[in-house]
Structure 1
Amino acid sequence: MDIQHQFDGRKGSFFIEENEKRLAEMVYVMAGPQKMIIEHTEVDESFKGQGKGAKLLEALVAFVRKEEIKVIPLCPFAKATFKKRVDLQDVLN
């Protein structure tokens, strides 16, 4: 399953879609040219416990590293995952 990225210049999301239905999504908003706020993560019941949320966060981290953007995780899931995963913390603001 591919993780897709959608961005309109201010808001965006990383998501997994199947049959045109979003089954997992991590939503963010830009808070300046080099700062991103992760607002919300949602995973469909059929994906619970499969690590899909973590995969979305990993895709987001790969993107912000490439773009040299710092992250502020307001989303409780993202915040908890950053706390557990030292390997991702370099992107935190």
Structure 2
Amino acid sequence: MKVIHENDVKNGFLGVEADGERVALMTYTWAGDKMFIIDHTEVSEDYGHKGFGMIMVESAVEFARAQGVKIYPLCPFAKHIFDTVRSFDDVL
């Protein structure tokens, strides 16, 4: 398993590669230079319930902390994670 991250001034994505293919994807859009909006998360049906969604959220949180920015979780999956994992509150 490998986590990938691409970012530019307008948007970016985090993904998980397994068995040589991308099996999970989380996209985000920048809202200015101090916040990004997680707008979509998907995991391939064959790889569901393996924690890849959480891995991408954790990677987004680490990125936000390193950049000193906030996250707005618009995606229902990401919002659910942020609503339940209180240790991520510092990036909201």
| Same structural fold, with TM-score higher than 0.5 when normalized by the shorter chain | yes
What is residue 10 of structure 2 aligned with on the other side? 10
What is residue 42 of structure 1 aligned with on the other side? 42
What is residue 62 of structure 2 aligned with on the other side? 62
Q: Distance in 2 between matches of 1:76 and 1:90?
A: 19
Unaligned runs of 5+ in 2: none
Tell me the number of residue pairs that the alignment of Structure 1 and Structure 2 aligns.
Answer: 91
What is residue 33 of structure 1 aligned with on the other side? 33
Unaligned runs of 5+ in 1: none
Classify the secondary structure of the residue corresponding to 1:9: coil
Task: Tell me which amino acid in the other structure corresponds to 1:84.
Answer: T
Classify the secondary structure of the residue corresponding to 1:60: helix
The alpha-carbon deviation at position 7 of structure 1 amounts to 1.2
Classify the secondary structure of the residue corresponding to 2:2: coil
What is residue 90 of structure 1 aligned with on the other side? 90
What is residue 78 of structure 1 aligned with on the other side? 78
Task: Name the Cα RMSD after superposition.
Answer: 1.0
